[in-house]
Structure 1
């Protein structure tokens, strides 16, 4: 069932009317003169969306007795920038209404892991003069029902691309379940005091650390060209990448776009570690705190179709369906699931790129029979999925060992023979056809 989303904002529509006035002047005998040929007017460049997603994370589960009742300072990295910003918060896995009492957004005093390879790690402090209150329909606080999300009002703040932002959330009342994204590969901060620290520009109150993101699912900006949505599991989530480096393949795709002639699209990473395409985590005993989240089929509407400015989705799904119990040994089921996501995307006007499944020999459950299922799915993807999608990103070919294509190339292996490392993430990002986005 599609999650109900609580949206707060104003949509404005303007209508432009043009009046053409023609004046006739008669001088002497009537003469008919054909009009001089004129060049056809230049086609106007298509306007970009009002809002694009600069950063996103998929809520994966509920965390019992989490940081509700404190202030969380989420550190996130903007793939694109713009003159206005808004944030999306969630109580999607909550079991009761949750009050966000004070929310702020700021530019971090430290840029984080950047595209030039440098890492200026955040300590939780904000750049001077950049802390802004975030309002909800003009009010400083908002109560969000269990199972719902909320979108903030626009905030005037010049957000640079390729830099860290701080989104601080104070929850005055402890809730029994806090929605989170479990593995952010990024250090964020928590103030253990019950006092509101959201507007404090310093790092002083934030003495506790976390590698998860709490309550925050997205940051949107104005002025960008649109959004590419990366949808998948732990490989998309970047599980074997260096913390704080922003070297997941979606980050590196954003870097390729910024460096080339293609539009500088925002890239939203909606990967969840352990996530399956067809079944919820721990099926059939799905629990609200199962860290691998709802299936790709179940969360697709909320996590993909509702991304601001979405124009293209890149789908990398199926390896966990093959590996995890109950194992999916029928490649037709995975193919059908991918085709279904593609059809839903196209029905909303999105382009669809599907990635081939990467090798995993050496990971615990690997077997020749499971690898045959993977290869059968990949054969169908490379053949275009029967016309189900627009393009292919051959991630398998990009990272496999040429001498033994059942396993990752050693220089791309994150150490567990399943998850690519930073170099492997770069190879995957390079395999994406930019002209199809």
Structure 2
């Protein structure tokens, strides 16, 4: 058995001895297969009450396309085995909502069978599903859970409306979305989508709420990783969003710390060639606060070392301003400035994207530019998200 992110394409039998961890989920090695590339990701941030008997139709947005698809389903933070009665995938009909494009609905299998039980602490990957998936398209990934499998692994800050059929039996494969009358703003169980095709690899955006998209318009795919994906379409690079609002570099916060979740949420994802790291502001302003810049650099160096072992380049991002936010103090600002100086000095990352320099207010550099500020003085609106994405030079991604 090995740590999560390794491909799992087999039926997992009921296994009560498995124990969940906050560091990584576990999977087993898979046989040799064609090259896959990640087109979408979300990092699980915790658990929420399950919806037994319901089918959740998760809406996810691709970055690159392919001729086949496979879905990652997670019980990483679950406390008991998760029973999946059905998993389906389809193209979303134009105009939004829960209805599928006619003829695009596919039933996913696990080693040839439709139902699977996932032990706590584990992820599973479906078999390859033949489906022509365009770039920048919405997919409907539906998960039917027939029984109460305990707390559901989920992503809290989806900024995307998904749909629920409360009586989900036999509804997972519905092309008509009529049964999906309830809405949710979380992603349940689904944590990744890979495509098989001509893509050149993937880039993981690894961070906290700034990467997760807080401040951007919901249901619009205007997070900075989404905007970066738009810029990289000509290079056929997938972009995976491994941001978790509230996440921290050095300590567990919302979700495991960056160091703890690095393998599961970044290094093990399909086709990864570059990692963009924006983590640390929650350590500076959190409780207990981190005030030693060297501790940040040590953590960044560990991330780089572990990424290099997988042949992955690492782009470091400077920490952005937040004066005006409730947790701001002059002492914490001094720490941010020192951390940024160490990042800019080089010798830590393979390349640097200076987000701070791009979004700070020239008249008050400890603050975000007013036209990028959604009003909380910490996160970024749609214009600010685009500015962040434009800061990443494609050439540094390898």
Give me the CA root mean square deviation: 1.2
Hey, what's the Cα distance between the residues in 1 that align with 2:30 and 2:256?
A: 28
Hey, what's the Cα distance between the residues in 1 that align with 2:300 and 2:170?
A: 45
The one of 234, 237, 250 equivalent to 1:278 is 250
Hey, what's the Cα distance between the residues in 2 that align with 1:347 and 1:273?
A: 27
> Deviations along 1:177-211, whole A, 9 cap, x unmatched?
00000011100001111523110011111111011
Find out whether 1:255 has 2:215 as its counterpart: no
Hey, what's the Cα distance between the residues in 2 that align with 1:68 and 1:342?
A: 41
How far the C-alpha of 1:68 sits from its partner, in A, is 3.5
Find out whether 1:339 has 2:324 as its counterpart: no
How far the C-alpha of 1:3 sits from its partner, in A, is 2.6
Hey, what's the Cα distance between the residues in 2 that align with 1:68 and 1:269?
A: 28
TM-score, normalised via structure 2 length: 0.92
Hey, what's the Cα distance between the residues in 2 that align with 1:225 and 1:7?
A: 25
Contact kept? 1:101, 1:170, Cα under 8 Å? yes
Hey, what's the Cα distance between the residues in 2 that align with 1:420 and 1:251?
A: 14
Find out whether 1:228 has 2:203 as its counterpart: yes
How far the C-alpha of 1:69 sits from its partner, in A, is 2.7
Find out whether 1:423 has 2:397 as its counterpart: no
Which residue number corresponds to residue 391 of structure 1? 351
| Structure-to-structure mapping, 1:95-110, within 5 angstroms | 95-110=79-94
Hey, what's the Cα distance between the residues in 2 that align with 1:57 and 1:165?
A: 14
> Could you say if the C-alpha distance between residues 225 and 266 of structure 1 is closer, same or farther in structure 2, counting changes exceeding 3 Å?
same
| Structure-to-structure mapping, 1:6-405, within 5 angstroms | 6-7=27-28, 10-12=31-33, 50-63=35-48, 65-110=49-94, 120=95, 122-223=96-197, 224-259=199-234, 263-281=235-253, 292-384=254-346, 387-405=347-365
1:169 aligns to what SS in structure 2?
strand
Contact kept? 1:357, 1:374, Cα under 8 Å? yes
2:395 aligns to what SS in structure 1?
helix
Is 65-74 or 168-177 further displaced after alignment?
65-74
Contact kept? 1:343, 1:388, Cα under 8 Å? no
Hey, what's the Cα distance between the residues in 1 that align with 2:24 and 2:362?
A: 43
Hey, what's the Cα distance between the residues in 1 that align with 2:307 and 2:256?
A: 18
2:343 aligns to what SS in structure 1?
helix
User: Which structure 2 segments of 5+ residues have no match?
Assistant: 1-20
TM-score, normalised via structure 1 length: 0.84
Contact kept? 2:165, 2:179, Cα under 8 Å? yes
Contact kept? 1:318, 1:357, Cα under 8 Å? yes
Contact kept? 1:330, 1:373, Cα under 8 Å? yes
Find out whether 1:3 has 2:7 as its counterpart: no
Hey, what's the Cα distance between the residues in 1 that align with 2:117 and 2:150?
A: 15
Hey, what's the Cα distance between the residues in 1 that align with 2:395 and 2:24?
A: 33
> Could you say if the C-alpha distance between residues 357 and 392 of structure 1 is closer, same or farther in structure 2, counting changes exceeding 3 Å?
same
2:110 aligns to what SS in structure 1?
coil
> Could you say if the C-alpha distance between residues 433 and 146 of structure 1 is closer, same or farther in structure 2, counting changes exceeding 3 Å?
same
How far the C-alpha of 1:132 sits from its partner, in A, is 0.3
2:228 aligns to what SS in structure 1?
helix
How far the C-alpha of 1:6 sits from its partner, in A, is 2.8
How many residues matched?
375
Hey, what's the Cα distance between the residues in 2 that align with 1:10 and 1:316?
A: 34
Which residue number corresponds to residue 394 of structure 2? 434
Hey, what's the Cα distance between the residues in 1 that align with 2:169 and 2:122?
A: 25
Which residue number corresponds to residue 17 of structure 2? none
Contact kept? 1:9, 1:137, Cα under 8 Å? no
How far the C-alpha of 1:50 sits from its partner, in A, is 1.1
Hey, what's the Cα distance between the residues in 2 that align with 1:355 and 1:3?
A: 24
Hey, what's the Cα distance between the residues in 2 that align with 1:351 and 1:8?
A: 24
How far the C-alpha of 1:336 sits from its partner, in A, is 1.2
